[in-house]
Amino acid sequence: MKTSSQLIYFGLFITLLGFGDNSGKLIPSWITFLIGGLALFYGIYLYYKAENKLFSLNNDWKFDWRALSSKVYIVIGILILRTDRFIDYINENFILDTLHSVVGFALMLYGLNLFFKEKREKKGSGNIE
């Protein structure tokens, strides 16, 4: 469990370092995205393998957005906040830019709120990682 979390955070960190201009960087963006993505996907695979939550054929394929991990909400919020740099139409329109930023920030805060609730529950039950 500890290795999977470290790989997930390392992958997110390396992926976020890949954003931006390539000038002045030692490693090109596509290599950082590749390394970060591989680390992220392998960490997610290890996490679900350790929790025995890998998909099986007899599962009911319903998607429940409330059952997602807090880390997923944080990552989606950060990605939404960062994508406005790549879409010129959002940057040109002030209302869309504001709405885009508010949605990303709200998802990130919701994820942080869930993260701290999970930590409080683990601390209260005596199961601290």
Residues 9 and 11: their CA atoms lie apart, in Å, by 5
Burial bucket for residue 54 (CB in 10 Å: 0-12, 13-18, 19+): exposed
What length is written for the chain? Answer: 129
Residues 56 and 103: their CA atoms lie apart, in Å, by 33
State residue 75's pLDDT score. Answer: 84
Span 84-102, pLDDT tens digits: 777 777 777 778 788 888 9
Rg (CA), the chain: 17
What single-letter amino acid sits at 69?
A: S
The domain limits of the chain are 1-55, 67-128
Picking from 48, 41, 40, 45, the residue whose alpha carbon sits closest to that of residue 17 is: 40
Q: Is the pTM of this model over 0.75?
A: no
Angle at 45 between CA 40 and CA 46, to 5 degrees: 100
Span 48-88, pLDDT tens digits: 776 666 555 455 556 666 677 888 888 888 888 877 777 77
Q: How many other CB atoms are there within 10 angstroms of residue 27's CB atom?
A: 12
